[in-house]
A and B are shown apart, each in its own frame.
Chain A
Amino acid sequence: MKINIVPRHEPVGQGSLASPSRRVALGALLAGAVTAGAWTNASAAAALRAAGSAGTPHPAGFTRPDLKILTMAADIIVPVTDTPGAVAAGVPAFIDALARHWMLPEELAQFRAGLAELDKSAQQRYKRGFAACTPAQAADILQALRASSPYEGRTFELAARIEDPKAPFYLRLRDLVVLGYFTSEIGSTKELRYVPVPGRFDGDVDVKTWPYQNVI
């Protein structure tokens, strides 16, 4: 079996278009590059609409207002770039599912309190809910939260930090969005190169010919 040949990855506007599939992807994202902000917001808005009206509690997961905050945060943490972002990859639903059956009660409580805190910060700074902020405003709020979220732990693998009871809300939010994205089908195939059956191993290749990780 031959290795899956994936074309060179180049930033938008610099590279040659090496294959039909890449051309399709680049076509979409070149269009997106012009209107990236609008695309992001439209995507987020659609997701927010899907989350339904405010105030309806989820059985054991997040309330719908919480989901809106989470969706906005996910969109800022892993935004649309030359590839789709966390919202398109279904990350809010993934984290909501974790809240329902995976998070420990104290983790869920921390997460809910953290989302509420994001909303409160947005009200204080911008007189609107976090979900209603512009991407720039939401990024400012997340940046401030990041700066005020010390973490002394040291881990070498993301899942270990996600499980660390000492991880502050900011890290837990950021890490779960990152994990959700890079394990999604979109993250695995558009941002990473998921190669289930490589067929061969080449120990020393020029990073320009294969600028990807080899994860499964």
Chain B
Amino acid sequence: MIQTTEFDAIVIGSGITGGWAAKELTEKGLKVLMLERGRPLEHQKGYIHEFTPPWQAPDRGLPDRALDAREYEIQSKIERGAFSWANRQYWINDRQNPYEQLKPFRWHRTDVLGGRSLTWGRQSYRWGNDDFLANKRDGHGNDWPIRYADLEPWYTYVEKFIGVSGAPEGLENFPDGHYLPPFEMTALEKHLKRSVEAKWKDRRVTIGRVANLSEAIDDERGRCQRRAICNRGCSFGAYFSTLSSTLPAAQKTGLLTVRTGSVVEAIDVDPQTKKATGVRVIDAKSGERLRFGAKVIFLCASTYGSLQVLMQSKSAAHPNGIGNHSDVLGRYLVDHAGVGVFAEIPGFENHNYSGRRPTGILVPRFRNVGGQDADADFTRGYGFQGGAMRDDWTNTAAQSDDFGAQMKHNIARPGKWIAFLGAFCEQLPQAGNRVTLNENKRGGFGLPQLSFDVAYGENERRMKIDAAKQAEQMLVAAGAKHVVTIPVRTVPGVSIHEMGGARMGHDPAESVLNAHNQVHGVPNLFVTDGSAMASSGSVNPSLTYMALTARAADYAVAQLKAGAL
């Protein structure tokens, strides 16, 4: 094994949190090595299909069924079109990187520099104080060791850097942030907002808060061009990704080294000092094994990626992996269960919209807020995300079978107005929802496969029924005659809001990380991605990961300077 250059810090992963860790640590003067398992990808130049028009798309955008079945069996099933001919090259090869599903489970992951910061939905919400109190109040899961007040300044800090477009609402448990101008609602969305807010005083319909620059905020990144093809990559740099935002900032310091094709096998811990000493890496191309040393390690390899590294890091002092003295590692996985409701709403045929908006609308959680609702047979709640737009030709054509001049004319015109609400239901933390290593099955690079044993439970089932009912009532209030409920995100993992497994907590006996994302007992190892989460809340989690990462980096550097690490 080759011993190589020492760094002040190693950041494992280059996605949303890895990019943030690299930016913060380098800007504070640390010499940082960023390790990414996937291929290199260059901002702008790497977005090969960004400007490909429909008529030049392979098979005009029809899926490559043979290739997808053979190489992308899992990734090609991503909902909402986030996997396509235009960005297939960012996603991981499933054939070469298998995992075990004890129950149906989707692990959607990329394999390039920048990770899922390239393909994420960009919805950026602060969690409310009740989200951090939920575990303590109802006893599901462990108490979060932090509260909203601990993260509030860090939410502001990251919002100001990434740029979030949104509208302030003044709600207690749906905190407002630092926003660029909101995108406009469509005519039917405005009508839905008026209808819902008039009928229910505790409900709000707001525009999706999204990490797209509705206005330019600096000279580095351009203003959003309203193309809404973000997940191909954006040469304008108009949405937040590692490649457009945190990586250039880190590189500007001159203190960052990036090494792609670096599959982290394990983190070494010195049994005497109890500190992490470095990282063992398999070179993806050569298969060569390397070792890199550092004073501080930030593990930001995505929820399951980080759990895999921790579990693989076995030693005499950590026989079951780092952070696993109390068999909590890999447990309490949570995501967002879903249900979708849509309806045609007539009366807006004279209205249209132009351009493409890179966000939808949101109905913040209104169930069980400030106490249990009398008519709710479930605990916690859900929010809705959706929108109201007109069908396009791909929709209209699929709902008819006619041909000829009239058909050609009809399906090219703006179609029916459809309003859609999709619920994001908080999943209760359960010890039985877990991931383990299967040493008897080998996956990518000969490493043990992750084995998922995750299912939604009775509370999620009840919540979905309620969400469908409430969504129907809201659409009916807006004039819907016939409402259709459809299953969405039924298989765990599909929401790609994966959280937990190395949850934060006060007590090392029931958690893996402390209030500063330090591994209990390994003070110079920080884990700041989704695996740190002790519950799932009801809004998208990425902004919270960013805030946690920036906060942990600030703490780590202060501790390092104080000689405590």
A residues adjacent to B (C-beta < 8 A): 1, 3, 76-79, 81, 85, 94, 97-98, 102, 104, 139, 142, 146, 149, 151, 155-163, 170-171, 174-175, 177-185, 188, 191-192, 194-208, 210-216
Contact = CB atoms under 8 A, between A and B. Distances in A.
A200 B351 CA distance: 17
A81 B409 contact: yes
Given A159-B394, A213-B390, A202 B54 contact: no
A1 B225 CA distance: 8
A156 B225 contact: no
Contact of B414 (A142, A159, A185, A212): A212
B55 A188 contact: yes
How big is chain B's contact interface, by range? 35 or more
B346 to A, nearest CB: 14
B355 A159 contact: no
Contacts of A213: 390, 392-393, 412-415
B63 A79 contact: no
B401 A170 contact: yes
Given A146-B403, A198-B356, A210-B352, A162 B62 contact: yes
A208 B354 CA distance: 12
B227 A216 contact: yes
B83 to A, nearest CB: 13
B316 interface: no
Nearest to A147: B401
Given A174-B403, A212-B354, A215-B392, 11 more contacts: A77-B404, A79-B408, A158-B394, A198-B225, A200-B354, A204-B184, A206-B352, A207-B351, A213-B390, A213-B392, A215-B394
B414 A184 contact: no
Contact of A194 (B54, B59, B401): B54
B78 to A, nearest CB: 15
A98 B59 CA distance: 7
Contacts of A1: 225
B484 to A, nearest CB: 10
Interface of B: 51, 53-55, 57, 59-65, 183-187, 189-190, 225-229, 349-357, 390, 392-395, 397-399, 401-405, 407-409, 411-415
A203 B397 contact: no
Contacts of B62: 98, 102, 159, 162, 179
A6 B226 CA distance: 17
Given A170-B401, A200-B355, A203-B186, A156 B51 contact: no
Contact of A214 (B54, B59, B355, B397): B355
A188 to B, nearest CB: 5
Contact of A183 (B54, B185, B189, B409): B54
A46 B338 CA distance: 53
A158 B63 CA distance: 12
Given A79-B404, A191-B412, A203-B187, A156 B63 contact: no
B183 A203 contact: yes
A185 B53 contact: yes
B53 A196 contact: yes
